[in-house]
Structure 1
Amino acid sequence: MFSSRAKRVLAISLVAAFTLMAVSPLFVTSLAVSGSKSGPYVDKLVFRVITGEDQEVLALQNNEIDLIGEMVNPTYLPALQAAENIDVVNVLRNGYGYLVIKTNKYPFNYTSFRRALAFALDKEAISDQVWDGLSSPQDSCVPQVNPFSCEGLLPYTYYEANVAKGAELLDAAGFLDIDNDTIREGPHGDDFDVLVECASSSPIAIEVGQKAAQALTALHVQATSQATDFYEYLNRLYFHGDFDMVFLGASFTNMDVDWLGYEFWSGYANEPYWNFPCWGNASYDAWRDQLLHSTDYNEVYEAAIEMQKVWVYNCPEIICYENVLLSAYRTDRFEGFVNDVNAGVPGWWTNYLVHLKDSSGGPFGGTFRWSNPLDLDTFNFMASSSAYTMNVLNQLYDSLIIQDSSGADVNWLAESYTAQTHSDNPAVPEGHTRFTFNILQNATWSDGEPLTAEDVAFTLNFFREAPGNPYGSDLTEMTAAYSTTTYQLVVEFAGESYWYLHTVSYKPIIPKHVFEAIGAANWNTWNPQPPTQEMVTSGPFNVSSYFAGEACEETWNPNYFYGLDRTPTGTTSTTTTTPPNLTLAIVAGAVGAAVVILVGGYILLRQK
């Protein structure tokens, strides 16, 4: 068994490895040069509707599917590990479980009290006992898989139980046992107790709530943990009702952290749905403008780190763990699976890069089979909020920029871009941000029409003008989107912010020549029925058959703009060989080393 100190060192190595892979632009370049933009390899994707986790596991074991299309419940881990030709891998979740503390309620308004609990809470025990080793301690409100996280950068952690440190803080703040009954009174000399509420529907939440109550008891604070209806106390959080502490979970779909400027901003301390702990801090707020309104990555990064430092010290919430997510897949026919930091193995990158083994006639061809727990509710990606629907539809459209498997940006339809403010270019109005994108010139729609800057400009204006369209909700500050040439796009915002880049570049692009006839007002009534009604798409796959309630099949797009040369072996073809770049080779080697550190470090970290 590794010592606690060794675990902390390995945890820091884990964070460093993730940071190395996700932040440095050199690594993004090396990925592009190494050919990871080229795909897909398989001929078809099939998404079979299989309801029930046990049925999905059985289908994988019986070779009816190649991949379970959602995260695997840890209870199935022993059976899957014992099966032949099945691998189970994990990735740290882009999210966590945490305690919310009502900081505007006495005595929880004392920072020393909240920090005392953070020190006394045994996060190592939560990971080792509650999660049986399938989680890692966490302090920052930004998950450690995120390159903007300060995890591992602070001179202290709250990972191990340090009751003595917590007691010292309480003593100094005036939380003393005045009447010698072994229970502390508040700084005003009054009795108080703490109620830790947790969801009655979650065994994990109940156990974490008990750990928090035990930590408070160890500090000689009267505390109890109570299982409560989750939605009842969530409603209290939404509207800043009464509570002491409650347990919640959070998950994130990307690496943006502009939410730090809203979620814990003093200005939202009484705003419904925001700032659950009702916390306000001037030092934290002082970095908000730089986080939200700088267009420079380094300045944004600095602000995010400094805000987290203030947040971790003040403990308006206590992050308890960052658990791992498990993915399971067969290894007898396919290889090239990608363990994505956001999606795990069942994600876009696996569909794009997975390929048949040489022993199965690879790398090209084959049908890659998913399980999908629910059927599609629509083929209109704008009208669905189902993750299972998006499992199918994600392959159909492209965006200017996508995230690679580590969460870093990769130019996709955008070949390059620049961002300017008035200080960079006097032609840009004061207080505005202007992006100029150069678009790839070989992208086409599935009907053969070229995909141009006009399509991108049309898409952004369509989303903004479509009433209630979820893809337009963050475009209210966009003042213009237009093409200057066939393959150059200009987008302007009435504000200055680094985050506008992702507001624009992550959105799926739709064909102007199709949606002009549909109209923005009818975005939610568009109801395509492929393959009977052809869907005009640009992505690496398109729908080729669909049987409601049973399965959906997609076939590769032979004209995809990053498509591979599938010329059969033995056929004469002309190729251009580029001499190896030593610098990039070294960078690629460093990526490999980082992966080894990451995987090895994680295995050691979680050993018992």
Structure 2
Amino acid sequence: MKKVAALTALLLCCAWPSSGVPAFDPEKVTGPRIERLCLVIVANADAQVLAAENGELDILGDIARPADIDRLSADPDLEMSLARGFHAFFLLMNNTRAPWNDRIVRQAAAQSIDRNSMVRSIYSGYCEPINSWLPPVSPWASPDGTRNIFDRAAAREKLLSRGYRFNFAGKLTAPDGRPLPKITLLAPLARVTPTTAEMAERLADSLNAAGFDVEVEPLDFSAMIARLDRKDYSLAVLAWSMGRNPDSLYSFYHSSMDVAGGYNMTGTRDAALDAALTKLRFAPDKASAERASAEAQRLLGELVPSVPVYSRFSVAAVSKKWRNVLSTDRITADNMWTLVMAEPRDGTARTMTMALAEEPRSLNPFTASSAYSWQVLGMIYEGLIASNPFTLEDMPGLAEEWRVETEGEGAAAHTVLRFRLKENLRWNDGTPLTAGDLKATIDFIHKNEIPRFFDAVKDVAETEALNARELTVTMKGVSYWYLDNVAGLPWMPARIVENVKDWQNWDPLDREEKFGPRGLVGAGPFMLEEYHPGEYVMMKRNPCYLRLPKETERR
């Protein structure tokens, strides 16, 4: 931990202030100030580090291996940043398949895993072991979320209590006397995410030591996600960025989210948990949300639908050739604010390069599920509300103002969201962005029950574009979270969504437009210029972006 403390101290000296008066007002930021951003596809971690050292990559984020962090920290041409983020890594268990359909067996598996030892040996203090379904940095996380529950003897007793027995080789036999079949643990390829692959092997070793027969199956990440979406798996490892709010627990563990392509990949179905998560989802105020969040986390601790393993510190490296690079104690330098504000120190215009650790297999915003696809798509779409990088509080995005109101009484009470858009907004193709476009986006997702976003809109009762700049969204009930859920959708022009013939097979890059219009039309800071699979994704500045510098002509 001394290493982490030293690095943290170094970073705080170099980073922009993260508390007190900020160095700038985020609402007055202009950009992007670069013409192009090249996302270089570099899957191998060693190659990523070498490219950063050689100056071929300006930004390298998500650095996980301690040796790489130490090596890059010693490079005088790179500036490092570290933040305690909302990352959480889980061992997923398919609750619909034996033996994981037994709560006691899942509890035993969780107690069989020596998180502290694994995290210490693999990450050298750059991660913290967790026993919580929310990362410790979250103000909503359970207070005992870092308690060490490793107890292999207790795990053994739990298994014996369910009728399991151990044969002469120490392997489990099922209550019916038959040997427990081999269990496959899905994991990403080691060449892409070496530390994740190593953690998967360690988890398998722990479970094997407890009597299970587990074998790791490495897969291409997109193929692995497809298996998880179909629940065609027994065990898998997966990390999530949990976001600011505990409402994500509803998406991950409520039975209504147990649909193909939904986030409830464990197939969790429990009436008591559903009730707690429903109270959390429909909490009318913060106090109610806090009570429901605590109850939901207590029940998750009993049900153990997945096994929390660790929360990783975010670490990024940025070339010192760039200025206006933002990092705080909450976000590392590989963030959208950096991409919008960064400029070459020497004033020479050039393309910024950033690592993309995996192929963005799908650029269909309705079906894309991997972080690598959304590393691209997230630059193309802009939310109604943004997040202040210093406080993480809401600030204007496409909307200049918004109101959350409660209308009706008793059972008829419901939330009404009112948004007023900024003036003169345009899509990246130069056409006007109106409230009618936003209404069309919500209506399309709602009508088609698109799993990735349906959780955000399923309680929408009515949408109304009052005029070009004012949108009203009436919800079916009352919830503290409706604002964030709706405001964060990937907004698209009405003419795009209304002409998508098959949202599941739509390929925005298809020149023949077989299933829908060609092109990714959004309002984010960048737009797609070209994509060469296996090589790079070239983004160019959106000439109509809402934060574009005044001196830059907007078409």
Q: Settle same-fold status: TM greater than 0.5.
A: yes
Residues 73 and 515 (structure 1), Cα distance of their counterparts in 2 relative to 1, 3 Å cut: same
Map of 1:11-410 to 2, 5 A cutoff?
34-35=25-26, 38-40=29-31, 42-53=33-44, 54-68=46-60, 71=63, 76-91=68-83, 92=85, 94-98=87-91, 100=93, 121-150=113-142, 153-154=143-144, 158-159=147-148, 161=150, 166=154, 198-199=185-186, 202-214=197-209, 216=210, 223-229=211-217, 246=235, 248-252=237-241, 254-258=243-247, 260-261=249-250, 263-264=252-253, 274=264, 276=266, 280=270, 282=272, 284-313=273-302, 315-338=304-327, 345-357=333-345, 360-361=346-347, 367-372=351-356, 381=365, 387-405=371-389, 408-410=393-395
Query: SS of 2:485's equivalent?
Result: helix
Separation in structure 2 between the aligned mates of residue 382 and residue 269 of structure 1, nearest angstrom: 18
- The CA deviation string for residues 341-388 of structure 1, in whole angstroms up to 9 with x for no partner, is 68x54342321233444xx349xx654222445677787655755654
RMSD, aligned CA: 5.3
Map of 1:520-599 to 2, 5 A cutoff?
520-521=500-501, 524=506, 527=509, 538-542=523-527, 546=530, 548=532, 552-555=538-541, 557=543, 560-564=545-549
- Counterpart pick for 1:414 among 399, 405, 416: 399
- Indicate the residue corresponding to 1:591 in structure 2: none
Separation in structure 2 between the aligned mates of residue 537 and residue 263 of structure 1, nearest angstrom: 27
- The CA deviation string for residues 429-473 of structure 1, in whole angstroms up to 9 with x for no partner, is 926432111222353445665533233223333444579696568
Q: Work out whether residues 417 and 474 of structure 2, in 8 Å CA contact, stay in contact via their aligned partners in 1.
A: yes
Query: SS of 1:394's equivalent?
Result: helix
Query: SS of 1:287's equivalent?
Result: helix
Q: Work out whether residues 73 and 326 of structure 1, in 8 Å CA contact, stay in contact via their aligned partners in 2.
A: no
1:507 aligns with 2:500: no
Residues 322 and 482 (structure 1), Cα distance of their counterparts in 2 relative to 1, 3 Å cut: same
- Indicate the residue corresponding to 2:436 in structure 1: 454
- Residue 101 (structure 1) shift: 8.8
Gaps of 5+ in 2: 9-17, 190-196, 512-517
Query: SS of 1:40's equivalent?
Result: coil
Residues 28 and 515 (structure 1), Cα distance of their counterparts in 2 relative to 1, 3 Å cut: farther
Separation in structure 2 between the aligned mates of residue 107 and residue 458 of structure 1, nearest angstrom: 41
Separation in structure 2 between the aligned mates of residue 393 and residue 140 of structure 1, nearest angstrom: 30
- Indicate the residue corresponding to 2:479 in structure 1: 497
Separation in structure 2 between the aligned mates of residue 67 and residue 373 of structure 1, nearest angstrom: 12
- Residue 109 (structure 1) shift: 5.5
Separation in structure 2 between the aligned mates of residue 233 and residue 381 of structure 1, nearest angstrom: 19
Query: SS of 1:336's equivalent?
Result: coil
- Residue 260 (structure 1) shift: 3.2
Whichever residue aligns with residue 34 of structure 1, its letter is D
Q: Percent identity among equivalent residues?
A: 20
Separation in structure 1 between the aligned mates of residue 30 and residue 149 of structure 2, nearest angstrom: 45
Residues 366 and 199 (structure 1), Cα distance of their counterparts in 2 relative to 1, 3 Å cut: closer
Residues 134 and 209 (structure 1), Cα distance of their counterparts in 2 relative to 1, 3 Å cut: farther
Gaps of 5+ in 1: 15-26, 217-222, 568-608
- Indicate the residue corresponding to 2:12 in structure 1: none
- Residue 128 (structure 1) shift: 0.8
- Residue 299 (structure 1) shift: 1.9
Separation in structure 2 between the aligned mates of residue 242 and residue 375 of structure 1, nearest angstrom: 23
Separation in structure 2 between the aligned mates of residue 466 and residue 69 of structure 1, nearest angstrom: 35
The structure that has the greater radius of gyration is: 1
Separation in structure 1 between the aligned mates of residue 492 and residue 242 of structure 2, nearest angstrom: 22
Alignment: residue pair count: 513
- Residue 484 (structure 1) shift: 1.9
Separation in structure 2 between the aligned mates of residue 68 and residue 107 of structure 1, nearest angstrom: 38
- Residue 116 (structure 1) shift: 7.0
Whichever residue aligns with residue 87 of structure 2, its letter is N
When the two structures are superposed, what TM-score results if normalisation uses the length of structure 1? Answer: 0.65
1:480 aligns with 2:462: yes
When the two structures are superposed, what TM-score results if normalisation uses the length of structure 2? Answer: 0.71
Separation in structure 1 between the aligned mates of residue 269 and residue 20 of structure 2, nearest angstrom: 41
Whichever residue aligns with residue 405 of structure 2, its letter is Q
Larger mean CA deviation between 462-471 and 472-481 belongs to 462-471
Q: Work out whether residues 462 and 520 of structure 1, in 8 Å CA contact, stay in contact via their aligned partners in 2.
A: no
Whichever residue aligns with residue 323 of structure 2, its letter is F
Whichever residue aligns with residue 418 of structure 2, its letter is T
Q: Work out whether residues 41 and 355 of structure 1, in 8 Å CA contact, stay in contact via their aligned partners in 2.
A: no
Separation in structure 1 between the aligned mates of residue 99 and residue 206 of structure 2, nearest angstrom: 22
- Residue 126 (structure 1) shift: 1.7
Whichever residue aligns with residue 488 of structure 1, its letter is E
Separation in structure 2 between the aligned mates of residue 90 and residue 352 of structure 1, nearest angstrom: 20
